[in-house]
Amino acid sequence: MVTLRIRRRTFVAVVALLALLAATIGIASWSTSTSGNGYSKAATATALTLSDASASTTGDLYPGGTGDLKVKVANPNSFPVRITAVSLTSGGTITSNVGACNTAGHGVTLTNQSGLTIDLAANAVATVETIAGAVNMSTSSDNSCQGAIFTIPVDVTAASH
Amino acid sequence: MARPLIVAVVGLALLAGTAGASWNATKSGDGAARGASLAQGAKPTAVKSGVVVITVTLSWSATPGATGYVVSRTGGVGSLGGTCTGTLATTTCADTPVLTLQTYTYTVTPARNSWRGAPSLGTSVST
């Protein structure tokens, strides 16, 4: 009888440890940067969708100055999310819609952003979000870059919120 | 006796995991920005003064976005002088001394670092 109790207690302890281990593994996988891993929400979660924001840009970028970055983003998930960071895609190249500007040098760069608090409601349709002052233009930007639209490849990081 | 306890422990563990969970993902795509444009310079006004030493004083309206202006002069003899040479941070300058019996035409070009707007329409002055 005593032996049986010890076995049951041992079994309970083992099961509890396994359960906690499973939960820990689950948490670890939810915080990865890829979508859809692990978590019960993540089982149906999908990444944000980004679309063309060029029509929403305003000509605010001068040589030696900064301008706004526009991203058009939708949240297809059934839960709200918060955009926390936007950075230039590794190996990405910023280009303009003016050939001469690209050839002669536009001098446009992106300052990677972190600590952002851009909230998207659940199932939010595509809306244009503005990250003020994130884009820089060098003082030597070619004259042909006036009025040019710059396409900036970005990685947008978001978390459930 | 032990079975309910097992169920409770497993349930609590899973609940704790769910409560602490957060979804986090990175998505690649394109953002956008747009370059500004410098407008055409405003046509300057020119006022002649002086008898022995003639001065032409120019003034013009500011161009949005411009941080400087380049004045040009065509026609007549000699070259631009006074305070009208180089890139100006002001919207007025004095071209002096200028020769008599000449006709000069002045234009103003907005500037901002490496960018230039279109030159203004010209303003002519006879000395």
In a domain, B19, yes or no: no
B30-66 CB burial, b ≥16 within 10 A, e <16: bbbbbbbebeebbbbebeeeeeeebbbbbebeebebb
| In contact, A139 and A65? CB cutoff 8 Å | no
Please report residues of B whose CB lies closer than 8 A to that of A20: 13
3-state SS assignment for residue A1: coil
A86 pLDDT above the threshold of 50: yes
Select from A26, A77, A151 the Cβ nearest to the Cβ of B30. A151
Kindly give the confidence (pLDDT) of every residue in chain B, 127 residues in length, as a single tens digit, with 9 standing for 90 and above: 455 555 555 444 444 444 445 778 888 999 999 999 999 999 999 999 998 899 999 999 999 999 999 999 999 898 999 999 999 999 999 999 999 999 999 999 999 999 999 999 999 999 9
| In contact, B44 and B58? CB cutoff 8 Å | yes
ipTM summary value: 0.77
Element (H or E) spanning B14, and its range? Answer: helix B2-19
Q: Measured between alpha carbons, how far is A102 from A96 in angstroms, rounded to an integer?
A: 6
In a domain, B94, yes or no: yes
| In contact, A88 and A153? CB cutoff 8 Å | yes
CATH of the domain at B92: 2.60.40.10
Select from A52, A152, A160 the Cβ nearest to the Cβ of B22. A160
In a domain, B52, yes or no: yes
The confidence band for A108, taking pLDDT boundaries of 50, 70 and 90, is: very high
Pick the CATH number of A49-160 from 3.30.70, 1.10.3470, 3.30.160, 2.60.40: 2.60.40
Please report residues of A whose CB lies closer than 8 A to that of B112: 62-64
A38 or A98, higher pLDDT:
A98
Select from A40, A69, A146 the Cβ nearest to the Cβ of B33. A69
Select from B29, B33, B114 the Cβ nearest to the Cβ of A150. B33
Please report residues of A whose CB lies closer than 8 A to that of B1: 8
Please report residues of B whose CB lies closer than 8 A to that of A96: 35
Query: CB neighbours of A93 closer than 8 A, spacing ≥ 6?
Result: A153
Lowest-pLDDT range of A35-49, A72-86, A105-119: A35-49
Please provide the average confidence, as pLDDT, over all residues in chain A: 81
Q: Measured between alpha carbons, how far is B11 from A23 in angstroms, rounded to an integer?
A: 11
Select from A19, A64, A71 the Cβ nearest to the Cβ of B13. A19
Query: Which residues 64-103 of chain B have a CB within 8 Å of chain A?
Result: 65
Q: What is the DSSP string of B41-89?
A: PPPPEEEEE-SSSEEEEEE-PPPTT-SEEEEEEESSSS---TT-SSEES
In a domain, B7, yes or no: no
Please report residues of B whose CB lies closer than 8 A to that of A79: 23
A76 pLDDT above the threshold of 90: yes
Best of B22, B34, B116 to mutate (most A CBs within 10 Å, chain A): B34
A117 pLDDT above the threshold of 90: yes
A122 pLDDT above the threshold of 50: yes
Q: In total, how many domains does chain B have?
A: 1
Side-chain-facing half-sphere of A116: CA atoms under 13 Å: 23
Element (H or E) spanning B3, and its range? Answer: helix B2-19
Range of B115's domain? Answer: 45-126
CA distance A67 to chain B (A): 7
- pLDDT for res B25: 85
- pLDDT for res A27: 37
A137 pLDDT above the threshold of 80: yes
In a domain, B17, yes or no: no
Q: What is the pTM of this model?
A: 0.77
Taking CA–CA distances from B115, the nearest residue in chain A reads A143
In a domain, B100, yes or no: yes
Q: Of A160, A135, A161, A157, which is closest to residue A50 (Cα–Cα)?
A: A157
